[in-house]
Each structure stands twice: as C-alpha cells, then as structure tokens.
Amino acid sequence: MRRSILSVPGHLAGMHQKAAGSSADVIMLDLEDSVPLSQKVPARQQLVDSINNLDWGNKFLSIRINQPGGQFAHRDILEIIPRCGEKINSIVIPKVSSTADVYFIDKLLEGLETEFDIVNKIALEPSIEDPLGLENISEIAAASARNITLVFGIADFSSSIGAKFISISGHGENEDFYPGHRWHYVLSRMVIAGKARGLSVIDAPYGNFKDPVGLKRSAELAAALGVDGKWAIHPSQIEIINDVFSPTIEEIERARRVVDAYKNAVTQGKGAAELDGRMIDNATFRLAQITLDKLK
C-alpha cells in the first residue's frame, strides 16, 4: 500500500533519519522545490549517503528529481542512479507537461540500468502541475511501462492557471469558501486517466500541518474521488492519511456482509440479493471486494 508519502528535503540528513523510522508507507527524498539553489548539488551526495546507509526497512523509497529540461534533472539521475539505483523504487518527475518529459527520463534510466547492472526496474511517477500536463494526461499516463502513479502538484498547478491564492501555503487549505471541491475536476480527470491505465493517483500535500481536521477533510474528499494516497509534509500528518486511505472497521464489516449475502444469493441461482432493505448485485459485490482487497 502507498497511502502516505512523506516528503523530505534531500539536503537535510536529520530528517532522513526520522523519516526512515516513521510510519509512512513511502519516503520521498526531494531534490526539487524544498531544496535551495545553493544545496542542489550537495543534496545529491546527501541523498546517496542516506539511501545507502540508513535502514529503510520495507519502506517504498522514492526520489523527486528536478524538472526535466532544467539545469539539474539530467545530472540528478546520472549522479544518483549508478550509486544507489538498486535501492530506489521510484522517481517522481515534477512538472510533467508532455510525454517527452517521461520519455527522456525513461530512456536515461534504461541506459543506466544496463550500464550498471541495476536489476530493479525503477518506476516513474509523473507529477501534473500545469494545464498542459492536464490536457496531455492520457498520453502522459501511457507514456512509459514504468509509470505507476500520477501525482497532483497543487501549488504549482494553482499558480500556472492563475487560481486565487487563498492560503499561506497554497497547498489545499482554506478551500471551504468554494462550493464543493475546488480541485474536483483536476483530481477526477487524473483518476480517470490513471485508473484507465492501472496507475494509482496521489493527492498533493496539505500545507497546514497544525490543522489535523482540515487535513482529514482534504484527504477524505480525495479518497471519495478514487485517489489512493496523499503526500505528507510533516510526520504528524502520516497517521491521519494512513487512516483515511485504509478501510474502517465499519467499511470492512459492511463489505464482508455484502460478500456473504451476494455469494449466498449466487448459490441459490440468483443474480441479486436483499441486504438491510437494499438491492445488492454483482457490482456491489465487486465494490465490497475492492475494500477487502486493501487488507491484503
């Protein structure tokens, strides 16, 4: 399961240690926007050291490189992958606006994996952060067999479309002024493109780490749309995110009752059954089964 993705700046070793011991499903070591310009190059070495020397247990390990085509992205890959590529599960590609961004990283990785005998095929997670990326999302989702996830980059997306800046962080807080979910269209579009190609979809972080109620609501809205997980920018956000993206006891109980009732109906030669005054059929059964599959 990849419900919570804890994002940590690549140049801050102390935070890597804490992240390794946290309960996040995924740790994402960042080289992009949380790293100041002066640290862009030293952060690569720090990242290699942390990946090689810390005990990451069974965590899924991601790195976020800089934007393809910028001055850092190619060397981020060339300098890191040969030295610890075997331990990296995925690369988050920021600000993907076309398939070319994905092809570029895909081919670079193919060459390095061959040259350095890296057996573990490194996965890709394109991050959608501008309108062109959203326009091209179906092609982006299908651009590489390495793709496993689409990620929503809410702050850059907001700025790139000129949306009103309504909170301090720009990361999903104070959205209640909007009737409904301000990012409903974007997230739903991403869910459709992602799920059509078997990819998971990850929501942007929630910027106010002192507001657990707002975080929970933001995560619940995303989960309701079919989103699978959410970034965390602070360890205090991990448990809430893990909870929201895991089935509750009530949901599990309900799913088990639906599965039992439906199977029972099938053995009696029926295609549908009644449970608590509701009609349940094969589609209800599948929905319940998906809930139970998350427990595996």
How big is the site for ligand GLV, counted in residues (CB under 6 A)? 10
Q: Segment 156-215, which members bind Mg ion (CB under 5 A)?
A: 156
d(CA 189, CA 9): 29
CB of 153 to Mg ion, least distance (A): 4
Longest CA–CA span in the chain (Å) reads 70
155 is a site residue for ligand GLV (CB under 6 A): yes
Q: Which is nearer to Mg ion, 31 or 255 (CB)?
A: 31
Q: How many CA atoms lie within 13 A of 112 on its CB side?
A: 22
One character per residue 104-143, x = contact with ligand GLV (rule: CB under 6 A): -----------------------x-x--------------
d(CA 282, CA 272): 7
Q: Phi, psi (5° rounding) for residue 62?
A: -120, 155
Q: Phi, psi (5° rounding) for residue 128?
A: -95, 120
153 is a site residue for Mg ion (CB under 5 A): yes
Neighbours of 135 (CB within 10 A): 14
> The tokens 């109620």 sit on which residue?
213
Find the part of the chain contacting ligand GLV (CB under 6 A) among 50-58, 153-161, 212-220, 265-273.
Answer: 153-161
Q: Which of 106, 156, 203, 228 binds ligand GLV (CB under 6 A)?
A: 156
Q: Which is nearer to ligand GLV, 63 or 273 (CB)?
A: 63
222 is a site residue for ligand GLV (CB under 6 A): no
d(CA 76, CA 92): 12
Positions in the binding site for Mg ion (CB under 5 A)? 129, 153, 156
